[in-house]
Amino acid sequence: MAKDPIKRVGIDPSSPWVRVSTFDSTELPAGVPLVYFLRTTDGSGAVLPVTTKNGKVDSAGILYIGEGEDAADRLRKLIESFQRGRGGRDAHGVPSKYFDDRYDSKYPFEGLEFRWTRLRSPPKVLPTGSEIERTLAPTLTPGQPTDEKVMARVVERGEIANHKHRVGDLPPFNAKGGYHTYKAPMPAAAPPTDGDVELLDPDSAEAKEMDPRNKMKPGSL
C-alpha cells in the first residue's frame, strides 16, 4: 500500500511564482529576510530555457537569484525597476542589464516571474533599558550587517551554488557566487572594576599552603 506523502506543518515559506509586470509591490511584507528568484516564461506559465553566458542551458529558466534582509525594500526595488521599463530609474541593477543588453528580446518582459522564500528569523526581544542590558549591548559600527543580512547572504550563496552544480554555470544576471558578509566580533569582556588580580608567587609560603598536593592525607600521621 502506498504511503501518504508527508505534509508540511505550518506555512510554506516559499511564495508561488508571480508575474513581475502586474504584481503590486506594496503587498510585500516589511522586515522579512528572504532569498528570491527571477525566471522567464512564455507569458502563459510555460518556462523558457535560459542560456547562460558560457553556453549552458537551464531548463528551469532562472535568470537571477538575489537576497535581502527586508522584502519590502530589496525585492520591491527589483519589481518596480522592471515595471518602469527601459530608461526608467533602476534602484536595483538587474533591470538595467536586462533592458540595456537586450535580454528582453529573448525573454519577454510579460513572461518574467518571481518567487521568494522567507527565511526563518528569531523574534526581536524588545529592550528593557536595564543597566546590565546596556553594559552587554555591543557597540554597532557604521555599515555593520545585521543577523538577517548575514543569514540572507549565506542562504543566497547556497542557492547559487546549487544552481551552478545543477546547470554548470551561474544565472545570467549573477556576476559571482554570492557575497560574503561577516558579523563583527563581539566586544572584549570588560576588565574587572575592583582592581587588578594579584597572582601569588608559586614559591611563597601562602601558595605552598594552598597547593592541594601539600595537604596531609588522612591517616598519614
Cell triple for 183: 558579523
Give me the pLDDT at residue 124, please.
Answer: 58
Q: What pLDDT, in 10s, does the model give residues 46-64?
A: 999 999 999 999 999 999 9
- Give the residues across from 115 on adjacent strands: 37
Give the pLDDT score at 116: 92
When pLDDT is averaged across residues 15-32 and rounded to a whole number, the result is: 92
Q: Give the gyration radius of the chain's Cα atoms.
A: 28
- With a threshold of 0.75, does the pTM exceed it? no
Looking at the predicted structure, is the pLDDT value of residue 9 above 50?
A: no
Q: Name the pLDDT band for 202 (thresholds 50, 70, 90).
A: low
Question: CB atoms < 10 A from the CB of 142, how many?
Answer: 4
Q: What is the pLDDT of residue 210?
A: 67
Q: What is the pLDDT of residues 95-145, one digit of tens each?
A: 999 999 999 999 999 999 999 998 876 555 666 777 777 777 666 666 677
* Mean pLDDT across the chain: 81
User: Do residues 51 and 147 touch, judged by C-beta distance below 8 A?
Assistant: no
Those residues with Cβ within 8 angstroms of residue 35's Cβ, 6 or more apart along the chain or in another chain? 65, 66, 67, 116, 117, 119, 152, 155, 156, 159
Q: 3-class SS at 83? A: helix
Residue 171: its pLDDT value, please? 96
* Pairwise CA distance, residues 173 & 113, whole Å: 15
At residue 146, the pLDDT reads: 77
Cα atoms in the 13 Å half-sphere on the side-chain side of 154: 11
User: For residue 207, what pLDDT is reported?
Assistant: 66
